[in-house]
Amino acid sequence: MSGSVKSQFVCENCGAVYPKWQGQCGQCKEWNTLVETLVEKPKASLNSRNRQVLYENGAELIVSAKSVADKLEKQPPRLATKLYEIDRVFGGGFVAGSVSLVGGQPGIGKSTILTQLIVEILINNDNLEVIYVAGEESPAQIVPRIQRIIKASAKEKNIKVESNNVLSRLQIVTTTDVDRVIYLVSQNRPALLVIDSVQTMFTTDLTGIAGSVGQLRESAGRLVALAKRQNIPTFLVGHVTKEGDIAGPKVLEHIVDTVIEVSGDRTGELRVIRSLKNRFGPTDEVGLLKLTSGGIEQVTNPAEVFIEGKTLGQPGSALTVCLEGSRPIIVEVQALAVSSPLSMPRRVARGLPISKLHLLLAVLQKYARISFEHQDVFVNVIGEVNFKDPAMDLAVAAALISAKKGKAPEEKVVYCGEIGLLGEVRQVRQLEKRVKEAKRLGYKNIVTSKSLNSVRQL
């Protein structure tokens, strides 16, 4: 640790400062809240003369909005991957100097998706270079994956791609010392920087191990400052906790420009990319991808994934149109109700919150006089995706009633409506777009709040 820099331990709960770590804060009595933080010693005392010089030298902190606008007009356009499902989530591409945090469960495909992103950028731009900081894998593990993706991408596009040309413009950095990474990036000035992962980064200015709160916050702060200073689009891969949140302090999500979540069933192929935060684009867009041995494939027609044609028209099956961002997706909801041998029947939900299933069962019992009191109830939304759109309430209720009565709903019917606690069917947002998508796929009969006032009419 350099002589001009020292560290101290600050309580995240009350702000108390300590010279060394201890398990419990002596002021607020909370446990494990002390975080190591860097403190720079002042170079000179700020007497009146020093303050005057400091304030005079700070004149460049005031900038004209006109000068900023002129500079923005001269900046290059967004860096696009030509993968529509990814570009739409980022608002059309990556802005120079932007920092994106990519999170997801282990094995969900974060590294594979970013590797595909790198390959597409290098294929479409002959004069660009990319730096990949490998904190979790060796180059011997990364390069074969890149070669498979290059081969698959060339075959899909039916073009000839020189593998050596792509590999020669991809630099792999094996150190996890954030200061060394910053030096190497400053010297090479790549068009894109990928850090895999930010939890492996550390600085020798702090004594904590890599992944600790202090190291994570300091390393991320330095990488963000680098991206802004050099105007380099940067990706930080982040680990998640067992609850599914991105590991580390919440400040990590605040300082980045974009937070991307990769979700899906690890045993399946479908992956959903969601934008949870985006300073340069929409925050409610989603991209649909298939994870294969040759990389990722775009899902241009979601109906092929979310509708299983052979099960339509059977008891317990109903269709709905969910709106993910600006994209309407027609999905199939399946329900099963069987006699339960248990004193407390089971309630299982896949693809929707379990609390939503409990609510709909209570509403059906109260207002539709349909009880599942002694039955195990299972509800599944086809497609390995968790939907939170309230428009699917009506389809879930229709599937439950159909499963209870053993009678299939009408053919070619799409249910689209929210159900309130009083049993009323409520209108959902952007209904016109949902109806248009259903009709485009050949479904003419759409049941909404305009045709159905209460669950009693189901």
pLDDT of residue 233: 95
Distance between CA atoms of residues 21 and 10, nearest Å: 9
Sequence-distant (≥ 6) Cβ neighbours of residue 17 within 8 angstroms: 8, 9, 10, 11
The pLDDT value recorded for residue 46 is 47
Q: What pLDDT was estimated at residue 228?
A: 93
Please check whether residue 236 is in contact with residue 198, taking contact to mean a CB–CB distance below 8 angstroms: yes
Polymer length in residues for the chain: 458
Q: Parallel, antiparallel, or unpaired for β 270-278 and 258-263?
A: antiparallel
Q: Is the peptide bond before 197 cis (omega within 30 degrees of 0)?
A: yes
Name the pairing type of β-strands 192-196 and 234-238: parallel
| 78-300 CATH pick, 3.90.79.10, 3.40.50.300, 3.30.465.10, 1.20.58.190 | 3.40.50.300
Burial 65-87 (b: 16+ CB within 10 A, else e): eeeeeeeeeeeeebbbbebebbb
**Which residue ranges make up each domain of the chain?**
5-59, 78-300, 306-457
User: What is the pLDDT, as a whole number, of residue 6?
Assistant: 76
State the alpha helices, DSSP H only, in 310-429.
Answer: 354-367, 393-405
Closest alpha carbon to 307 in 414, 216, 229: 414
Instruction: Give the SS3 label for residue 24.
Output: strand
Residue type, 53: V
Asked if 236 and 223 touch (Cβ cutoff 8 Å), the reply is yes
Contact of 133 with 182, CB cutoff 8 Å = no
Q: How far apart are CA 240 and CA 250, in angstroms?
A: 12
Residue with tokens 């003369």: 49
pLDDT in tens, 95-121: 999 999 999 988 899 999 999 999 999
Report phi then psi at 247, rounded to 5. -70, 150
SS3 string, 53-73, reads: HHHHHHHHHCCCHHHHHHHHH
* Region label for 189, one of left (φ > 0), alpha (ψ between -120 and 50) or beta (otherwise): left
DSSP-derived secondary structure letter, 409 = P
Q: What is the pLDDT of residue 309?
A: 66
Phi, psi of 451 (to 5 degrees): -110, -5
CA distance 326 to 335: 27
Distance between alpha carbon 300 and the CA centroid of its chain, in Å? 19
The encoded tokens of residue 414 equal: 């799409």
Task: Express the helix, strand and coil content of the chain in percent, nearest 5 each.
Answer: 35, 25, 40
**C-beta separation of 276 from 244 below 8 A:** no
Instruction: Evaluate whether 363 touches 323 at the Cβ level (below 8 Å).
Output: no
Q: Could you tell me the mean pLDDT of each successive run of 10 residues in the chain, 458 residues long?
A: 68 84 89 81 51 52 77 75 90 92 91 93 92 93 92 85 90 94 94 94 88 88 94 93 77 92 84 90 85 85 75 87 86 94 93 94 95 94 82 95 90 92 93 91 90 90
Q: Bridge-partner residues for 289, per DSSP?
A: 271, 298
Residues 263, 386 contacting (CB under 8 angstroms)? yes
CA distance 386 to 397: 17
**Residue 149, SS3 per DSSP:** helix
CATH of 306-457, one of 3.90.120.10, 3.30.450.20, 3.30.499.10, 3.30.230.10: 3.30.230.10
For 171, the token pair is 């630099």
